[in-house]
Amino acid sequence: MPEAERIQQLAEAVRYHRELYYNHAAPEISDADFDSIWDELKQLDPDNEVLHQVGPEPLPGTLKVEHMFPMMSLDKGTSDEDIVHFVTQSTTGGIQYLAQPKLDGSALSLEYIAGNLHRAATRGSGEKGEDVTLNAKQVANIPTRLNLPVDCHVRGEVVMPLAIFEEKYKHVSPNPRNLCSGALRQKHGDGKADASDLIFCAYDVKFVKDPPVVTHDSELLHFLKNSIGIEPAPWKIFSSSAPQKEMIEYTKEWIAKRPSYEFEIDGVVFKLDDLAQRENLGATAHHPRWALAWKFPSQEANSVLLDVDWQTGRTGAVTPVARIAPQMVGGVTVENVTLHNVGEVERLGIRIGDKVTITRRGDVIPKIIENLGPASDLDLQGRTHADGSVFIGELITGEIQIPTDCPACGRTLTMEGAFLRCIALDCDARTTRALTYWCRTLEMDGIGEKLIEALLERGYVTTISDLYKLTHSQIASLERMGDKSATNAIDEIHSSREMALSQFLHALGMPRIGPEVATAIAQHFVSLDEIINWAREGEPDSLTSVDGIGDKVAEIFLQGVIERLSLITELISHLEISPEEVSDLGIFSGQTFCITGSLSQPRKRIQELVKKAGGKIVSSVGPNLNILVAGEKAGSKLSKAESLGIEVWSEEQLNSQLTNENRTQQASPKTIFDY
């Protein structure tokens, strides 16, 4: 093929695939394939215009950006002494300090020109990062326009809320951090995570010109928040004569708060607040002298794999639990850790008798993260159990035996991806767990796992619906159950008969159907009858129109309902399941919205505003749609809405409605119920 023709062909291909990515979010080829087309074109014709007029912005990761203000790394510390040293030596004479949680995500620099988002770049080497503007614009709280026409660089960390990670991504990646950088750097919107699931937390701002007149960093954070309109990570000021004591105290507070915090954090950053003092101290070749990144004490440690037990869970997944030599990690002695699934055992290439690295974070079950190869006798020595008694064990080596039969019911197991599964719905283990999950979700605190096991053993219950047929004398006849506890249990069962549809769906304990997903599904169908009809038709597709529910979850939910149809029908006769209430607060309550076209804010942000005002979001235009919000280049959805006679709003119309909403909310006087 003549070169000119090939160039023409490559340029066409770049244009075509870029169009799919930008305007249709429907990539046909992988990033790697796109890169090879791009590279070939660049080699043949480096000046080809298609390489330079890349839509509005370059494709994430293809362009290096030199940081006008280098993103330096910070000096690190892990102990109380490090904080004392920082205050009394490194920054001696410092008067006021500022602390912020050290967020564990991906660092990002946002460059604004005259208040407009000009470019977003990753940290990279600190001197040079990568242009990721396209993806950064998807992040819900990164404004494309600031409240003031300033020229500045806002620095911060992009993080994923742990709730979203748990709900949508924990099967995809071991931690939210990897997803953050992947989501920012993906080229074709085909990464593991959506950038719209990320949040930006600012910690610094630098002005290119005309900085506000301030003397302290904390004033800049206030300025960011109140004048510019970007939310900084929370901060705290220390200004006593010997602040190190309170600063150490503060790290302890964060250690306690960490497991329940919204985002993953790995420490606390301390900085001198006075900007002139910072200037005087300057920086070493590696880091500024006025800041300290204090990291939480290590939550990793080494031990030896002694044995592996297999347990069947509520969903039928058979998981390996590793028995290890006792090891202190994150403040507790651990002897059992999870190995997740068969795939993980294979990935680690682990054998009995291997030395392993374990990690434990907050409330999470400790896990093995690395295989260090065969252990020696020395690795077993000097260990004590949690009660202080000395651990005695000898080193045994061997393969991990992967079971073929269910450890609970003995039926043959099947492999599903990385998981070993017992598919028998009446499997003892599954029934125990399903019943336990039901009782826990519906807050029947008096009915724990032991009681459920006893009831199963006696044959008093075989399914969840049998719970509602239990009699007082049956429960009272069990060992250790008196008259009073039996009465309590019966009362609890009785008072759990009434529930909302979302609670019912959640309590059934299907994989990946947590409270949020259950609520979204319940609001979509409103009644259980609708769900049963839908399941009988066996078409998962209609469920994917619900925001946050993809093909996979829709399929899991459909299969879950089909498997449980007889259980559900039985349960209906014992329960009172109320139809799901769709939020009736706000002016948009009861109305469905679809949002299309290009808008001045990320679509996700607009969706949130509509939902806050009580509206429901759908992704397609149909006869039940009330309002289509159409931005520029709205396309087929707009013509379809017009042909159906559906009301169409511009973004301005939507905004003015939302402003009315805010005014009404502010104007209405508080009643006693508001307090």
- How deeply is 582 buried, as exposed, middle or buried, from its count of CB atoms within 10 A (0-12, 13-18, 19+)? middle
- Shortest gap between Cβ of 606 and Zn ion (angstroms)? 47
Which region, judged by CB under 5 A, interacts with Zn ion, from 120-128, 149-157, 420-428, 663-671? Answer: 420-428
Site residue total, Zn ion (CB under 5 A): 5
**Which of residues 358 and 408 has its CB atom nearest to Zn ion in the complex?**
408
CB of 495 to Zn ion, least distance (A): 32
3-state SS string for 258-292: HHHCCCCEEEEEEEECEHHHHHHHCECCCCECCEE
Single out the residue of 343, 361, 449 nearest to residue 175, CA to CA: 361
| DSSP structure class, residue 56 | S
Q: Given the complex with Zn ion, which of 262 and 449 has the nearer CB atom?
A: 449
Q: How far is the CB of 312 from Zn ion (least distance, A)?
A: 5
CA distances to 267, 323, 368, 397, 647 from 302, in Å: 22, 13, 9, 17, 63
Site string for Zn ion, 181-210 (x = CB under 5 A): ------------------------------
Site string for Zn ion, 350-389 (x = CB under 5 A): ----------------------------------------
| Closest distance to Zn ion from the beta carbon of 401 (Å) | 17
**Under 8 Å CB-to-CB from 496, ≥6 apart: which residues?**
439, 442, 443, 444
What gap in Å lies between CA 449 and CA 456, rounded to an integer? 10
CA neighbor of 411 nearest in space, from 434, 437, 433, 430: 430
Q: Please list the active-site residues.
A: 102
Distance CA 419, CA 243 (A): 52
- Please report the DSSP string for 116-168 in residue order: EEEEEEE-TTSSEEEB-HHHHTTSTT--SB-SS---EEEEEEEE--HHHIIII
SS3 at position 309: strand
Residue 180 or 406: the one with the smaller Cβ distance to Zn ion is 406
- Cβ proximity to Zn ion: between 43 and 404 the closer is 404
Minimum CB–partner distance for residue 643 and Zn ion (Å): 54
Of the pair 61, 316, the CB lying nearest Zn ion is at 316
Task: Quote the least distance from Cβ 563 to Zn ion, whole Å.
Answer: 14
The residue range among 5-13, 366-374, 409-417, 533-541 that interacts with Zn ion, by the rule CB under 5 A, is 409-417
C-beta neighbour count of 152 within 10 angstroms: 26
Only one of the segments 178-186, 348-356, 406-414, 496-504 lies at the binding site for Zn ion (rule: CB under 5 A); that segment is: 406-414
Taking CA atoms, 388 is separated from 333, 385, 391, in Å, by 10, 5, 9
Q: How far apart are CA 574 and CA 381, in angstroms?
A: 57
Residue 93-122 contact track with Zn ion, rule CB under 5 A, x = bound: ------------------------------
Which part of the chain contacts Zn ion (CB under 5 A), choosing from 209-217, 260-268, 398-406, 492-500? Answer: 398-406
**Of 265 and 427, which CB lies nearer to Zn ion in the complex structure?**
427
Strands (E), 387-515: 414-416, 419-421, 498-500
Binding mask 563-592 for Zn ion (x = CB under 5 A): ------------------------------
Residues 485-504: x where in contact with Zn ion by CB under 5 A, - otherwise, as a string:
--------------------
* SS3 state at 628: strand
User: Binding segment for Zn ion among 212-220, 414-422, 526-534, 612-620 (CB under 5 A)?
Assistant: 414-422
Q: Considering only CA atoms, which of 403, 401, 396, 386 is closest in space to residue 336?
A: 386
CB of 426 to Zn ion, least distance (A): 9
Q: Which is nearer to Zn ion, 272 or 408 (CB)?
A: 408
Q: Which of 51, 148, 248, 409 binds Zn ion (CB under 5 A)?
A: 409
What's the rounded Cα separation, in Å, for the pair 449 and 496?
17
Query: Is 406 a residue that touches Zn ion (CB under 5 A)?
Result: yes
| Amino acid identity at 47 | D
Query: What stretches of 175-274 show up as alpha helix (H) in DSSP?
Result: 176-185, 217-223, 244-257
Q: First-to-last CA distance in the chain?
A: 76
Give the binding range for Zn ion (CB under 5 A) out of 368-376, 382-390, 415-423, 638-646. Answer: 415-423
- Smallest distance, Zn ion to C-beta of residue 403, A: 11
Query: Is residue 621 within the footprint of Zn ion (CB under 5 A)?
Result: no
317 contacts Zn ion (rule: CB under 5 A) = no
Among residues 406 and 629, whose Cβ is nearest to Zn ion? 406
Least separation, in Å, of the C-beta of 435 and Zn ion? 15
CB of 341 to Zn ion, least distance (A): 16
Closest to Zn ion by CB, 422 vs 638, is 422
Residue with tokens 């009809």: 533
Instruction: Mark the segment that binds Zn ion (CB under 5 A) among 50-58, 73-81, 322-330, 402-410.
Output: 402-410
Closest CA to 491 of 435, 456, 443: 443
Stretch that binds Zn ion, among 137-145, 372-380, 408-416, 512-520 (CB under 5 A): 408-416
Measured in degrees and rounded to the nearest 5, phi and psi for residue 263 equal -120, 165
Rule CB under 5 A: choose which of 99, 247, 329, 408 binds Zn ion: 408
In which element (H, E) is residue 333 found?
strand 332-338
CB of 415 to Zn ion, least distance (A): 14
Torsion of CA 139, 237, 215, 284, to 10 degrees: -80
- Is there a contact between 596 and 638 (Cβ–Cβ < 8 Å)? yes
When the beta carbons of 427 and 543 are compared against Zn ion, the nearer one is 427
Report the phi/psi class of residue 414: left, alpha or beta, with left for phi > 0 and alpha for psi in -120 to 50: beta
Print the binding letters for residues 421-460 with Zn ion: x by CB under 5 A, - otherwise.
-x----x---------------------------------
8 Å CB contact between 38 and 7: no
Q: In this complex, which beta carbon is closest to Zn ion, that of residue 408 or of residue 641?
A: 408
If you count them, how many residues does the chain have? 675
**What is the contact mask toward Zn ion in residues 625 to 644, using x (rule: CB under 5 A)?**
--------------------
Residues near Zn ion (CB under 5 A): 406, 408-409, 422, 427
